[in-house]
């Protein structure tokens, strides 16, 4: 799955799933443009890539601001002269039902996750078309199975999936492949914080494993996911082996989603 001579922009790459994706693409030979709000987090990711023999540059910025995605594209072109891959992994949402959430909560999630990705794709599109490149959007299974306490995630991810399908049709004409992954419950810092609220000792790996096993059973999953699970699939989708994936919405959630 060689990605040599490919330049990949990965947003949200200062931590969690985004960072794991960046490291995996670098492992397969891609040159990375790392983007996120946290300059310190990006420095850490860049250091890990360098230690593994990879190359990257960093772009700290807030992708919810309308002008930032175009600036990110220009930074990538200034550094490497081309853009082959975009992985949109920036953005999260506040949990709660519609009675608990105000307009600012909705605007924060939509401006970063949905509009940030849309603006980045638009700004990079001529360069992706030139390289016959690839886009992967990291959405989420909440868009498939909406719940009251995940109102923002459900609405945002549902729109994100529809947007992916729409852009994929455009990509058929331009030679740009566009796909989306819907992660289920993944062990990130957010899940670790939830374990802490459950009074699970962070130093007790046996207790953590037991808690994750019970959590997976309650959610009808075969296991809780890891960032590496998502990263491995992203690397395949953007590789020469994944060229028949186009317009796909892939639920990567250990079996939690039961809808057809």
Residue 36 phi/psi, 5° resolution? -175, 175
* CA distances to 76, 165, 245, 250 from 168, in Å: 23, 5, 10, 14
CATH for 7-186+226-252? 3.40.50.720
Q: What order of strands is seen across the sheet that includes strand 56-60?
A: 56-60, 31-36, 7-11, 85-88, 134-138, 177-183, 249-252
pLDDT at 96: 96
- pLDDT at residue 1 tops 80: no
* Confidence label for 71 from pLDDT (cuts 50, 70 and 90): very high
Given a cut of 90, is residue 79 above it in pLDDT?
Answer: yes
**Token pair for residue 167?**
């852009």
Summarize the confidence of residues 25-52 as an average pLDDT. 97
Q: Classify strands 249-252 and 85-88 as parallel, antiparallel or unpaired.
A: unpaired
| pTM for this prediction | 0.95
Confidence of residue 251 (pLDDT cuts 50, 70, 90): very high
* Span 4-37, pLDDT tens digits: 999 999 999 999 999 999 999 999 999 999 999 9
Q: In the chain, what's the furthest Cα-to-Cα distance? A: 53
Q: Is pLDDT above 90 for 203?
A: no
**109 is written with which tokens?**
């999630």
């Amino acid at each position: 799955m060689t990605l040599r001579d490919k330049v990949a922009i990965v947003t949200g790459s200062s931590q969690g799933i985004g960072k794991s994706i960046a490291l995996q693409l670098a492992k397969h030979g891609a040159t990375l443009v790392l983007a996120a709000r946290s300059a310190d987090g990006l420095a850490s990711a860049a250091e890990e890539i360098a230690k593994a023999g990879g190359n990257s540059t960093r772009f700290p910025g807030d992708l919810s601001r309308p002008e930032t995605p175009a600036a990110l594209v220009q930074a990538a072109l200034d550094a490497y002269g081309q853009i082959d891959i975009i992985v949109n992994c920036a953005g999260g949402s506040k949990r709660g039902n519609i009675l608990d959430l105000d307009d600012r909560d909705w605007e924060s999630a939509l401006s970063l996750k949905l509009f940030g990705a849309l603006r980045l794709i638009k700004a990079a599109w001529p360069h992706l078309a030139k390289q016959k490149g690839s886009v992967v959007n990291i959405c989420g299974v909440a868009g498939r199975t909406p719940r009251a306490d995940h109102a923002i995630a459900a609405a945002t991810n549902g729109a994100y999936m529809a947007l992916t399908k729409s852009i994929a049709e455009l990509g058929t004409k331009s030679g740009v492949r566009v796909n989306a992954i819907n992660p289920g419950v993944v062990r990130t810092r957010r899940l670790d914080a939830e374990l802490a609220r459950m009074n699970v000792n962070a130093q007790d790996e046996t207790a953590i494993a037991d808690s994750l096993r019970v959590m997976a059973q309650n959610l009808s999953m075969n296991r809780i996911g890891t960032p590496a699970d998502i990263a491995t699939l992203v690397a395949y989708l953007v590789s020469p082996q994944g060229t028949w994936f186009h317009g796909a919405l892939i639920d990567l959630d250990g079996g939690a989603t039961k809808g057809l």
